[in-house]
Amino acid sequence: MQNSYVASVFYEIAALLELQGVAFKPQAYRRAASAIEQLEIDIAAAVEAGTHRSIPGVGDAIAKKIEELVETGKLDYLDRLRSETPPGLLEVMAVPDMGPKSAMKLYRELGISSLDELKRAAESGKISRLKGFGERADERILRGIQTLESKGSRALLGEAVPIAKDYLEYMKNCVSPIQISICGSLRRGKETIGDVDLLVGSTATAAVTKAFTEYELVDEVVASGTTKTSVRLAGGFQVDLRVIDPNSFGAALQYFTGSKEHNVLIRKLGMEKGLKVNEYGVFERDNDAMLAGGDEEGVYEALGLPWIAPELREDSGEIDAARHGRLPRLVDTSEINGDFHVHTDWSDGSETIDDIVTASKARGYDYVAITDHTQSLTIANGLSPTRVRRQIKAVRQVEKAHEGSIRVFAGTEVDILADGSLDLPSDVLKELDIVIASVHSRLKMAPRELTTRVVTAIESGLVDILGHPTGRIIGRREASQMNLEKVLEAAEENGVAMEINSFPDRLDLRDAHCRLAKDRGVMMAIGTDSHSVRHLDYLGLGIITARRGWLEKGNVMNTLETAALEKLLRGRRS
Ligand code: DGT
Ligand code: CA
Ligand code: CA
Ligand code: ZN
């Protein structure tokens, strides 16, 4: 059972109670929901261990409901509430800024009980005319509906990557020889993906299209033409396929990788040079002679540019940099030597230290850091000072058993408490090889207070890495309102690295913030925040995020060789 599911049930209960005009109770459910959402361990595991009762905001009544949900997957109470409320009102209430009172009023006075009805009423300007809504209400509501719809339809990069890779492998096995690539936002590594785009260079269009639509996960063929076919997969992903003549494969790859904004600039640059650029190639405008098209490098070369990495193609200065020979040499997967953020079964991870070390070795790492939670995160079975000391010994033993084949850092993800102090005494922190410090609670405190809290931790002289710095959860929780500039300034002064947390729904710092950190001279540290062995694969998402942030080898701590890294870590907290 997923925490997000349990949280969503409690949010729904809160909303339903609000619609019924019940006081206080909705707040309690919302608090519990938010705490469950932020839990770093599986709620079912918490129930099993009995620790769900110590989640903030969970009293006896809510604890029982959690148990019922985890055990049966259902909740009687929710079903009852649902039957008492007009269906569709929740949808209406989900529109940003639409409270329960407004929703009820719209229901009573205009009979609105669905998003569609709300949209129609707003489009015809009816809502502004109601008493108490204000003259811009229609506009505001339409904008809210748009936000709601756009957010709902995008998937996480980390969800799309494996789906696209499987599809690609299948296509390669079906049709050979084949020129094939992922393009679109997925190739650029954007944190959320609208749809997956595949490009094939082949003259056997019909055979390729047939193979594409016969993939076993295809639920429905949405559109089928001679050059473009779209399918919807079980689970809802849309995948677009384009088939192009192999002579134009590079030009099409460039075109369909986008972004649209990047392509507009590319075409404009072509125009200035008397060239025409499209998905078939680069052509002389005067006589249509084809200058490039077979490969992507050739397309850029014809425009007088070096090849630009897909992650940079967002119209954020990349073309200018390319023209002046100032493109970054982006950090590459082959340069990454280890992972800085891994949990084990000592706190809320599911495997042993040895499992993690064995798996890290299999991935070719030179080092891995074991960084479990600390005591104040009781729900995550956080470690007390005594247990930290025991764990250090355990880490040394595992490392020894692997006979020098991998360096295992004894670390922690220490909680940053509300006043900025750390959740372990400094003598214990000094015994560790590496310290990540993270905020896990009270992210919504006043921005200035939060900034001071984080800066205090950075200035402690005990921290190597600030974990998931902004605390955002993609699509669910906005980045915290702390002053990032101030935090980066403190990090630079104190030689503290910012994490790129690679967990699919975090990617924190995000791409643009990584670039800012680089400009401020702050080092970045990629960590997967793994809670199981398979999460170690998320490292790739962190690397893509680093590349989208224009980071080079020198900006990323994971590129250091073991000896250099140890020197850096020792120097930082002595
Ligand atoms: P998404 O799917 O919303 O995450 O974003 P993209 O970038 O994958 O967009 P998508 O799937 O609509 O189209 C794939 C690429 O094809 C896009 O990045 C650029 C190119 N493209 C599509 N339509 C146009 C267009 O009208 N003009 C230009 N210049 N390029 C286009
Ligand atoms: Ca796309
Ligand atoms: Ca598309
Ligand atoms: Zn954390």
Same-domain pairing of 102 and 159: no
pLDDT band at 134 (very low <50, low <70, confident <90, very high): confident
Q: Where does a domain end: 264, 296, 323?
A: 323
Residue with tokens 């125009």: 271
Q: The domain that contains 269 carries what CATH number?
A: 3.30.210.10
Instruction: Round the average pLDDT of the chain to a whole number and report it.
Output: 93
Same domain membership, residue 403 and residue 515 = yes
Residues 236 and 362 in one domain: no
CA of 55 to the centre of ligand 4 (A): 16
Best mutation site among 190, 256, 271, 474 for ligand 1, i.e. most ligand atoms within 8 A of its Cβ? Answer: 256
Q: Whose CA is nearest to atom 3 of ligand 1?
A: 194
Cα–Cα distance, 557 to 540 (Å, whole number): 15
Closest of 145, 31, 151, 152 to residue 96, by C-alpha: 145
Name the least confident of 125-129, 366-370, 556-560: 125-129
Same domain, 311 and 427: no
Residue 500 has pLDDT above 90, yes or no: yes
- Burial class of 411 by CB neighbour count within 10 A (0 to 12, 13 to 18, 19+): buried
Identify the CATH number of the domain in which residue 530 sits. 3.20.20.140
Neighbours of 353 (CB within 10 A): 23
Are 523 and 546 within one domain? yes
Q: What is the pLDDT of residue 430?
A: 96
- Answer yes or no: do 114 and 49 share one domain: yes
Mean pLDDT for the stretch of residues 21-32: 89
* Under 8 Å between Cβ of 167 and 198: yes
- Percent of the chain at pLDDT exceeding 90: 74
Task: Looking at the structure, tell me whether residues 495 and 564 fall in a common domain.
Answer: yes
Q: Quick check: 175 pLDDT over 80?
A: yes
The first and second tokens of residue 388, run together, are 């930290």
- Closest ligand to C-alpha of residue 196 is 2
40-44, 222-226, 341-345: lowest mean pLDDT where? 40-44
Higher pLDDT, 378 or 356: 356
Q: Is residue 180 part of a domain?
A: yes
Distances in Å between the Cα of 524 and the Cα atoms of 116, 277, 551 are: 45, 38, 9
pTM: 0.80
Query: Tokens 């997923």, residue?
Result: 2
Beta bridge partners of 338: 367
Q: What is the pLDDT of residue 151?
A: 56
CATH number of the domain that residue 165 is part of: 3.30.460.10
Q: Which residues contact 205 (CB under 8 A, 6 or more apart)?
A: 226, 227, 243
- Residue 328 in domain: no
Distance 543 CA to ligand 2 centre (A): 20
> Is the model's pLDDT at 467 over the cut of 90?
yes
Burial of 316 from C-beta contacts in 10 A (0-12 / 13-18 / 19+)? middle
Q: Name the more confident of 237 and 561.
A: 561
pLDDT score at 41: 80
Q: What pLDDT is attached to residue 444?
A: 81
- The minimum-distance atom of ligand 1 relative to the CA of 258 is 18
Same domain as 200, residue 80: no
Report the pLDDT averaged over residues 474-498. Answer: 92
Q: Judge if 416 and 560 occupy the same domain.
A: yes
Task: Report which ligand 1 atom has the smallest distance to the Cα of 195.
Answer: 2
For ligand 1, atom 18, name the residue with the nearest CA. 258
Cα of 280 from ligand 2 centre, angstroms: 19
Q: What percent of the chain has pLDDT over 70?
A: 99
CA of residue 309 to ligand 4 center, whole Å? 31
Among 224, 244, 264, the domain-final residue is: 244
Confidence grade of residue 457 (pLDDT, cut at 50, 70, 90): very high
Residue to mutate (ligand 1; options 163, 263, 312; most atoms within 8 A of CB): 263
For residue 243, what pLDDT band results from cuts at 50, 70 and 90? very high
- Are residue 145 and residue 159 in the same domain, yes or no? no
Parent domain of 343: 333-573
574 has a pLDDT exceeding 70 = no
**Probe residue for ligand 1, chosen from 230, 260, 277, 279 as the CB with the greatest number of ligand atoms within 8 Å:** 260
φ/ψ of residue 518, rounded to 5: -60, -45
Q: Average pLDDT of 503-526?
A: 97
Ion ligand 3, residues whose Cβ is below 5 A away? 195, 197, 240
Residue among 163, 185, 276, 279 to mutate when testing ligand 1 (max atoms within 8 A of CB): 185
Question: What single-letter amino acid sits at 150?
Answer: S
10 Å Cβ neighbour count for 60?
A: 8
Cα 219 to averaged position of ligand 4 atoms, centre (Å): 37
CA torsion 166→172→174→178, rounded to 10°? Answer: 150
Picking from 441, 443, 440, 433, the residue whose alpha carbon sits closest to that of residue 464 is 433
> Is residue 269 situated within a structural domain?
yes
Confidence of residue 1 (pLDDT cuts 50, 70, 90): low
Is residue 223 very low, low, confident or very high in pLDDT (cuts 50, 70, 90)? very high
Residues 122 and 163 in one domain: no
d(CA 307, CA 53): 56
Higher pLDDT, 236 or 431: 431
CB neighbourhood size of 206 (10 A): 10
Q: Are 110 and 118 a contacting pair, CB within 8 Å?
A: no
Rounded mean pLDDT, 218-240: 90
Report the DSSP pairing between strands 290-292 and 281-284.
antiparallel
How many structural domains is the chain composed of?
A: 4
Residues with CB under 6 A from ligand 1: 184-185, 190, 193-195, 197, 255-256, 258-260, 263-264
**Ligand 1 atom with least separation from CA of 240:** 11
CATH number of the domain to which 35 belongs: 1.10.150.20
If you take atom 10 of ligand 1, which residue's CA is the nearest one?
Answer: 184
- DSSP labels for 55-114? STT--HHHHHHHHHHHHHS--HHHHHHHHTS-TTHHHHHTSTT--HHHHHHHHHHH---S
pLDDT of residue 149 exceeding 80: no
Task: State the average pLDDT over residues 398-413.
Answer: 98
Poorest-confidence range of 59-68, 128-137, 144-153, 460-469? 144-153
Task: Looking at the CA of residue 197, tell me the nearest atom of ligand 1.
Answer: 11
Last residue of a domain, one of 291, 323, 355: 323
- If asked whether residues 66 and 8 sit together in one domain, one would say yes
